[in-house]
Amino acid sequence: MTLLELIKHRKSIRGFTNRPVEREKIMMCLEAARLAPSACNSQPWKFIVVDDKKLKNKLCKAALSGIYSMNSFCKTAPVIVAAISEKSKFLARIGGMFRGTKYYLIDIGVTCEHFVLEAEELGLGTCWIGWFNEEAVKSILNVPKNKKIDILIALGYPDWEKGPSEHSREPLDKIASFNSY
């Protein structure tokens, strides 16, 4: 599959089979994430992989209930990955302040997309989760209070019977132009 074919094939998966995900495959996703570019090569990220069933269930129950229950489908995922923002290098932080750009958030986005695309290549399904109880995740995974968890990734083998949503995207001529806005 070419990269573009892989990108076209990837869709958010919101239903997973109970087949466990091999550690070897998780490591490959992490390796893809590790190699992501970042502002000043800060690499301001850390991943916590939750593949212990009991812990994962506890995490989903605490972090994805109540106002977050639209994401309760994550309980079907055998793995939840928490992406934590670490401190960027001084230059990236100063540059970001001058530019008014949160480079670390761009960095987190890029590394997570590397993770997700590698998962896709390995036949795994993923869903980015931005709506969750962060304090609950911090408490269960022993993440210091001063850290930020911007994203969770649900990971597992897709349950195709539950079918992924269709891609719905703006046409190219609406989102891109040559030589002028």
Ligand X SMILES: Cc1cc2nc3c(=O)[nH]c(=O)nc-3n(C[C@H](O)[C@H](O)[C@H](O)COP(=O)(O)O)c2cc1C
146 DSSP 8-state letter: T
Amino acid 147 reads: K
Q: Which is nearer to ligand X, 9 or 53 (CB)?
A: 9
Binding site for ligand X (CB under 6 A): 11-12, 14, 71, 127-131, 164-165, 167
- The closest residue (CB) to ligand X is 130
User: Least distance (Å) from ligand X to the CB of residue 47?
Assistant: 16
Q: Which is nearer to ligand X, 27 or 70 (CB)?
A: 70
Q: Which is nearer to ligand X, 47 or 128 (CB)?
A: 128
CA 94 to chain centre: 26
- The structure tokens listed for 17 are 């089979």
Q: Tell me how far CA of residue 175 lies from CA of 12, 33, 112, 141, 172, in angstroms.
A: 21, 27, 23, 39, 5
User: Least distance (Å) from ligand X to the CB of residue 106?
Assistant: 12
User: Least distance (Å) from ligand X to the CB of residue 167?
Assistant: 5
- Reported as type and span, the H/E element at residue 108 is helix 103-121
Q: Which is nearer to ligand X, 131 or 160 (CB)?
A: 131
Find out whether 56 and 80 touch, Cβ atoms under 8 Å: yes
User: Least distance (Å) from ligand X to the CB of residue 32?
Assistant: 17
